[in-house]
Structure 1
C-alpha cells in the first residue's frame, strides 16, 4: 500500500478498522499476555496510516449503511470460527456481553484509552532513556548501566524489551526480559542467551547485545598475499612490502610491521577458534587467544568474530590488537611487511 500511495502521490492510507476490531485486538493481546503497548489497542494514527472510523462499532456502521441504503458486502471468512479472532468475535464476546456486561465494548474501549495515555507517557520516558543510555553501531548494542541501574523495575523491563526488540527485530518472551533484568545487577562477565542467536553480556559499565555468527561463517578462511587488500566483514585488510626506511613503530593498533623472512607469501585470515595460541609481542610464553581477547576487554559478541592472520598454521597477528613475538621486526630483518586494517 505504501508503494501504491507513493506512486500516485498520496500521503495518507486510510484503513477500515473499527471500534469492534479494537476491542478484539485488546482482548487477544490480553489473553496472550501483552504489556501496556498491546493493551493500548489499535492507534488511530501511525505514521501515514489513519483509521477514520475507529470510533464506530460494527453495529453503528451497519445501521448507517442500512439507513442510507448503501450496499455492503460481508466477508464470509469472518463467519469461520476456526480463526482465533473470529472465535473471539462470534462466540466469546457475545457471551461476555450477555452474561457479564452488555456494555463490554464500551468499557474495554475506555480502559484501552486510559492505558494508551499511560503508554504514551511511558514511551516518552523510554525515548529519553534511549538517548542517554543506548549506543548502536548496526551490529552491537551497548547500554550504559549507570543510566538504567536506578530505574524502577517496571520501567526497566519496558526499556530493555524496547531496546532489544527495536534493534534486532525479534520478540522477547517474559523469561527473556526477567533474565535481562537479573543481568543488570549481576557480576561482570555473565552472559544471557536470548533467541535467534542473540546474546547479552554484562560488562563493567555496560550491557552488550549482539548476534552470534553462524558456524558456517565462523569457519570461513580467506587467502591473501603480500601486496593485496582483502575486504571482510566491513573491514579492509592489507599486507604491503616496505623497505626499512618506511618502518616505524607506532601505537596505532590498526597498523603493524612484521618480519617476513620466515614466512610464506600466502597468508590466511580467519576467525579464531578454540585452542588457538600465540606469543604476544613482549611476552616469553604463549597465550590462548580466548584469554588474550578477554584480557583486552573484548565483549563476548565481538570476541566470537575476531579475526587472526596466520601463515603456515601459525598466528602472526591478532588483527587490530597484537602481533606475535616470533615475527617482530629485528635489526637483521631483511623482508618487512606492513599490516593495515581499516573500516570500509
Structure 2
C-alpha cells in the first residue's frame, strides 16, 4: 500500500510528494547505519513550496555517535527559510531531554507548518509524545508514510527498545550442495569477489560483527570492512564461553585499532580475562546455560546494554543454528555459490531451516555467479 492510499493517517491526508521526500529521508538515514549507535540513524529533509512546486531546502543525517540529530541539522542549515515549510523525518522526533534538547523544541522554533514522519518511536520516552506535542502547537502532523520501509531501516533501534537486544542479521554461505565449511583443514572459500564485496558493505552497516570462538580458532579472521573509501569499522564481538581466544590471534593483536569485545561466562578464568583486557580487549560476562555454553539471549542483552542495535553474525553453521533455535535471528542472508567445493560441514540445519520457513523472503539478488537470498522476520 502506498502512502497516498493509507487509511490510518491521523492528521492531514498525505500529499502527492510525501512518499518521494520520505524515501529521500530514509535513504539519507540508511547511509549512517552502523555509525550512530546507541541512537537510530535518522534522515530529515526540509521542503517548502514555491511557485513551481516543492523544493528541497536542506537535508540532515544523524551524525556518528548519535548526535546531533538529523532534524536539528536540517533545520539549522535551513535557518529562516524553514518557516512555513515541511519537515520530513524517518522517525518520530524526540521529545525528551538527553544530552541535547528535544528535537521537538527545534522544530517549534523553526516555524515549520507541517511535519511528516514514517514511524512512531517505540522508545517509551517518546512513543507518540513528540507527535502529540507538535499537534498541540498547531503543526499539521502526518505519520506512517512508507512505514514498512522505515521499519526495515530502523530495525535495530526497534528491536533494542522492544526486545532488549540488538537486531541480528545472520550471514551464511554455502555451496550448491549445501556445504558451509570443513571440520578440519584450511578454510573453505565459497563465495566470489562480487558477493564478498556485498558482504563487506553489509558489515559497514552493522554496529558489530559477531563470530563464535570456533571461527576464531579455525580461521583467525580479521572481521574488518575492507572496501575503498570506507573507514568505519564495526565493533568485533566473539562469543567465547571459556575464553579460549588466543592472545596471538589477529583480533586481539589489532584490538587497540578496532574495538574488540569478547562475551564469556561468569565462570571463565579471571587470569585469561586479565590477559585479554591488558591487550585492549573488552571482556563481558554473561550467564551460561545448563550445557555450560553461553546463554545467547543474555549475551545479546549484554550487547544491547552497551548500546549495540545491529549485529551482523558471520559465525558459521553452529552459531547460526544456536541463534535460530534461540529465536534470535531477525534477518538471514543466505549466499549460495555457483560451484561446489570439498567440504563436509552442512550449512542450513533443522533449527535454521525452521526459522527460515517462518520468515518473509525478499527478492533474490545475483552477485557475480553467487545467489543472495535475504529473509526477514515477519
TM-score range (shorter-chain normalised) is under 0.3
TM-score, reference length from structure 2: 0.26
Give the structure with higher Rg (CA): 1
TM-score, reference length from structure 1: 0.27
Choose between structure 1 and 2: higher helix proportion: 1
- More contact order relative to length (CA 8 Å, sep ≥ 6): 2
